[in-house]
Homo-oligomer: A and B are copies of this chain.
Amino acid sequence: MTQLPHAGKRLHEKVRTPRTRRRVPPGMSPGTLLSHPEAPRPVIQVLAFGPEDTAEQIVEEPWQVQDFLDHWPVVWIRVVGLGDSEVIRAFGKLFTLHRLALEDVLDLHQRPKVEEYPHYLFMVAEIPQIGERFESNQLSLFLGPGFVLSFEEQEETCLQPVCDRIRAKRGRVRDAGADYLAYALLDAVVDSYFPLLEGYGERLERLENEVINRPRAAEVTEIHEVKRNLLRMRRVMWPQRDALSGLLRDSTPLVSAETRVHLRDCYDHVVQILDLLETHRELGADLMDMYLSSVSYHSNEIMRVLTVITVIFIPLTFIVGVYGMNFNAQTSPWNMPELEWYWGYPVVVLLMAAMAVGQILFFRRRGWLGAPRELDKTEGNETGGAKK
């Protein structure tokens, strides 16, 4: 059972490195902003653009953003790192954002959601991280007239292509408003789920092969792992779906009709992901059943053959025991006269051989011995042929 401790050890390491995230402790005043001491210091990156031109700068202080807001059609303020609650508070003052929304930026246990405030939308999405265990980082997004203010825990690579598209004027992001930028970011996040999901799908396919051919305990752990990851992903995607469908139904003037068409596409992708998730989950459950049935089939098979061998020898051992008895043939003609017969020994040996052969034939015909496997083989082929 060496592979199981191994699997266990792997899990144990995960337990020893818990997530550093901290929820606001119960009893705190709602809207309290608490940053994590170990979280990286925020870097404020400003990316301002219009159809003609773009400007990029890393600013030190939130108030420096104001200048961009005054001169550019769309300004994307990208804050990476949540290590300083003062910065978040300053942005809150600058854009008059609600304290609860600001709290949600720092409290990293949020579900994906879209909240409508009078002058802006607040969105939360979860960006999947690559790793053995499904984890996600939070992306918080404020969408107001002419600006998108985004907060990431660490620099997320899946948002990079959007930056590049702005700089290179690829796609229509430069020509559209802030709402399109927000959509483009959400879309990038949602699309980053597909490779992960395909990875899980391939793992399940591989596991299925293994389970059928050679069921091993390590597979249970792995199937369980995949199932748990799918479960975690589902927990993130369901609220994402609700948030997007709410956004599609709402009539906020911050999102234009054209962007709504794009959001519908993004919503479609989320629904696709959920579809795949559910299918994978069902396959995982089926796999577990197949594993159990495969293990029990193999196990029964072996035990049966072993027992048959025992059963063949038990009566023979009895017979040789009979002729090992020390009855005194001298005191009575009834006391084991066979021992004195001329053909005594050969007859007993033949008798035992006949018994063994008889038993083997009997078990074979009943399909208790190897025979059914031979049978299975030919029938398996027949079935395979009949299926075509």
Chain B residues with Cβ under 8 A from A113's Cβ? 268
Is A84's CB within 8 Å of the partner chain B?
no
- Chain B's closest residue to A195 (CB) is B26
- Judging by beta carbons under 8 Å apart, are B12 and A209 in contact? yes
- Judging by beta carbons under 8 Å apart, are B191 and A27 in contact? yes
- Judging by beta carbons under 8 Å apart, are A29 and B173 in contact? yes
A274-303 vs B, Cβ < 8 Å mask (1 yes, 0 no): 010011001100101111111111111111
- Judging by beta carbons under 8 Å apart, are A30 and B262 in contact? yes
A191-B239 Cα distance, complex, nearest whole Å: 20
- Chain B's closest residue to A386 (CB) is B206
Is A304's CB within 8 Å of the partner chain B?
yes
A250-B136 Cα distance, complex, nearest whole Å: 35
Expressed in whole angstroms, the minimum distance between the Cβ of A138 and any Cβ of chain B is 13
Interface residues of A in 100-127 (CB under 8 A from B): 100, 104, 109-111, 113, 115, 117
Is A311's CB within 8 Å of the partner chain B?
yes
* A342 interface neighbour in B7, B170, B331, B366, Cβ under 8 Å: B331
- Judging by beta carbons under 8 Å apart, are B348 and A325 in contact? yes
Is A253's CB within 8 Å of the partner chain B?
no
From known contacts A293-B292, A307-B307, infer whether A377 and B30 are also in contact, taking CB-CB under 8 Å.
Answer: no
- Judging by beta carbons under 8 Å apart, are A303 and B301 in contact? no
* A373 interface neighbour in B1, B26, B171, B209, Cβ under 8 Å: B1
* A321 interface neighbour in B192, B321, B372, Cβ under 8 Å: B321
* A314 interface neighbour in B27, B300, B309, B341, Cβ under 8 Å: B309
A306-335 vs B, Cβ < 8 Å mask (1 yes, 0 no): 111111011111101111111111011011
Is A71's CB within 8 Å of the partner chain B?
no
Chain B residues with Cβ under 8 A from A12's Cβ? 209
Is A93's CB within 8 Å of the partner chain B?
no
Chain B residues with Cβ under 8 A from A322's Cβ? 320
Expressed in whole angstroms, the minimum distance between the Cβ of A236 and any Cβ of chain B is 9
Stretch binding the partner chain, chosen from A38-46, A144-152, A216-224: A216-224
* A218 interface neighbour in B302, B306, B334, B380, Cβ under 8 Å: B380
A227-B341 Cα distance, complex, nearest whole Å: 67
- Judging by beta carbons under 8 Å apart, are B342 and A334 in contact? yes
Stretch binding the partner chain, chosen from A62-70, A75-83, A157-165: A157-165
Is A52's CB within 8 Å of the partner chain B?
no
Is A228's CB within 8 Å of the partner chain B?
yes
Is A10's CB within 8 Å of the partner chain B?
yes
A295-B326 Cα distance, complex, nearest whole Å: 46
- Chain B's closest residue to A113 (CB) is B268
- Judging by beta carbons under 8 Å apart, are A27 and B158 in contact? yes
A181-195 vs B, Cβ < 8 Å mask (1 yes, 0 no): 000100110011011
- Judging by beta carbons under 8 Å apart, are A334 and B324 in contact? no
- Chain B's closest residue to A12 (CB) is B209
Is A8's CB within 8 Å of the partner chain B?
yes
* A324 interface neighbour in B324, B332, B373, B379, Cβ under 8 Å: B324
- Judging by beta carbons under 8 Å apart, are A327 and B308 in contact? no
21 residue pairs A–B, Cβ–Cβ below 8 Å: A3-B380, A6-B384, A11-B208, A11-B209, A26-B194, A29-B172, A30-B265, A98-B261, A232-B279, A288-B289, A295-B297, A304-B306, A309-B315, A320-B322, A325-B345, A325-B348, A327-B345, A332-B341, A332-B344, A332-B345, A334-B343
- Other than A309-B314, A314-B314, give 10 A-B pairs with Cβ distance below 8 A: A3-B381, A8-B209, A24-B191, A218-B379, A295-B300, A302-B304, A304-B306, A306-B310, A314-B317, A325-B326
